[in-house]
Amino acid sequence: MAEVLGKTNLFTACNYSQKKDQEFSRRISGFCLKNNSFPSLKVKSQALRSSFNGKRVVFSEKKSVNDRRFRQVTIKAQMQTGLIGKTQKWWEKGLQPNMKEVTSAQDLVDSLLNAGDKLVIVDFFSPGCGGCKALHPKICQLAEMNPDVQFLQVNYEEHKSMCYSLNVHVLPFFRFYRGAQGRLCSFSCTNATIKKFKDALAKHKPDRCSLAPTKGLDEKELLALAANKDLSFNYTPNPVQPAPLPAAEEIPALKEKLPTTSFEPKESEEKTLVGAGR
């Protein structure tokens, strides 16, 4: 066995008379391992500090390349799922359950129609807008204080074409919608003029019940969105139906209601007629 080990150059013979207090000596049954002669094996430090003496020596294998790759894939998966390595953006902080970010023009239209008689506030913002960033915490507080109000957030940078069709050219900008009334008001305010927002919220918040269907966006806004080639939004306006004609039995009644005028010829006309008769 010693000859085989000598040929493979794994071990070299060691002298039994080496001192026990040598720190880096590695003794295994009369043989010692060369430094870095077998990199895939590591001897535990506790076993190296003591003499062999027939005791059990434990070897631990290095992690394989596949294991390292598996760990890297796991970390990437965690980063993609948002478990680690994701920095929360300022417009994502403090969001309440009644706050939602709009993803498309169709999403905006559907959200307004599905709200029913609930008050809906559309918040147009931009990530690079300092006024939007300063106002965001207060909007989140107001959303928390009014859980029955729906807040829709529209990112101007991601939906520039849609905002242009909706005539939104200043930020931060807000629009209030409700039920069959449609748009209630629209204005721009900053952190210094937040009272304008609070006054509009107090005015339009009281519960109302409308018998007509929910209106949502105006007809002009819907047509502008449909005409925008950058948006995948289709809208077909409802045809205008002509007023129905009255029934035959209703015509005499309508004639009675029509005003009657009597024609009386003037004196000059009477003289002319008399002269013509002579």
Q: How far apart are CA 227 and CA 224, in angstroms?
A: 5
Whether residue 180 contacts residue 218, with contact meaning beta carbons closer than 8 Å, is answered with: no
Q: Would you state the structure tokens that stand for residue 52, as one six-digit string?
A: 């062999």
For the annotated catalytic residues, the residue numbers are 129, 132
Q: How far apart are CA 97 and CA 34, in angstroms?
A: 65
Phi-psi region of 157 (alpha: psi -120 to 50; beta: other; left: phi over 0): alpha
Whether residue 135 contacts residue 190, with contact meaning beta carbons closer than 8 Å, is answered with: yes
Q: Would you state the structure tokens that stand for residue 68, as one six-digit string?
A: 């390292």
Q: Which pairing describes strands 41-43 and 99-101: parallel, antiparallel, or unpaired?
A: unpaired
Taking alpha carbons only, the member of 3, 230, 194 closest to residue 105 is: 230
Residue 111, CB-side half-sphere exposure with 13 Å CA sphere: 22
DSSP per-residue codes, 106-156: HHHHHHHHHTTTSEEEEEEE-TT-HHHHHHHHHHHHHHHH-TTSEEEEEET
Cα angle 225, 231, 235 (rounded to 5 degrees) comes to 45
> Dihedral angle at the C-alpha atoms of 228, 231, 233, 234, nearest 10 degrees?
40
Taking alpha carbons only, the member of 170, 178, 182, 186 closest to residue 222 is: 182
